[in-house]
A and B are shown apart, each in its own frame.
Chain A
């Protein structure tokens, strides 16, 4: 059985944290971590092709943010999106099958790792042209306002999107038109091998929100509860009075840019990587939850075991799923009316 992640549904009361919420947050972060580890293994075995960008180290951002959303809210992301998609509630088996390029994948194997889409959970993709999905998110928010619902959209993107024009066009339009969108920059300090300092005249990314006259702040992206707090406020503003927000979540990717940059070490020091790993968001939250009594050691172990089983099952499911039939090559180019 696919287990739907549950942090999202627990999102009602950002202030309090109870065992149920702690369990959900921990579960979702461990699920993403394990999913990515197994994906890396499958990649090494040649079962996944192309580019594979892992979210390891950044789990607290996607999980904390999603925990403030309702199921009918939208999320959209770049190509490092497995975590956002799983947090939103996608079936890990179908996500893994998509990475394997199989017919039971979320997109019938036609999207791949960088293009996960799942309409059933309002996950709007996986976009691999840096910056290009920010206008799309803005348009989804425009549509929400046009239809008069109280949904919101969160839009995840990297620090590498900030120097792109579409980041600036989007923030300007969203603020000008008052649209219910939360822009979450996952600042992991590198765009491939280019560090923030080598790319941006203003490295305090949250400050661009000031330029566009919208609420903005930075948050420790290794702290799932801090992320949850900041995003909950932004989502509240978006929902009640259509105010967009720019959030800079400061995080770090523990692995290379993609599987083709396995060491991720020419443009940053080993020391730096090791130092950042000490702030592993999953370890930090586990310790905190145990200390606070939200989880017991047995709870944590049980979650870890269940997640491992679930991801093993996802890999088996992906492996057993057939390749898409040749007929799929020419379907979905146009929607037939």
Chain B
């Protein structure tokens, strides 16, 4: 299972990802923590005229990890996505991606983010060595 790097407030135990230097609720330095790489979809959207540096359509999801941290993720498509659905999350070069699909789809989604060829190849290679995480319920068999 993929792990996500986060941070925890020693005072209120609030968890954030990616790590933040200070807790947003207290002027206290946060401590590093490792988080499970899955979560529930809070919301998602698709941009058809994304900002410069991103390919269209650009899929963005807001996912809540079990530790309570909400993270922004990219993904290859949102057809199967629903609010409340559990998805796998992984970080590649510090960018979070959600997926509930096969490895091929997962590899494809890295192409959504613009970058030079070298960066993309590195990201693909990193992904291939990681095993696909499937949530407690296998949602890959569910019809759209």
| Co-complex (A, B) | no
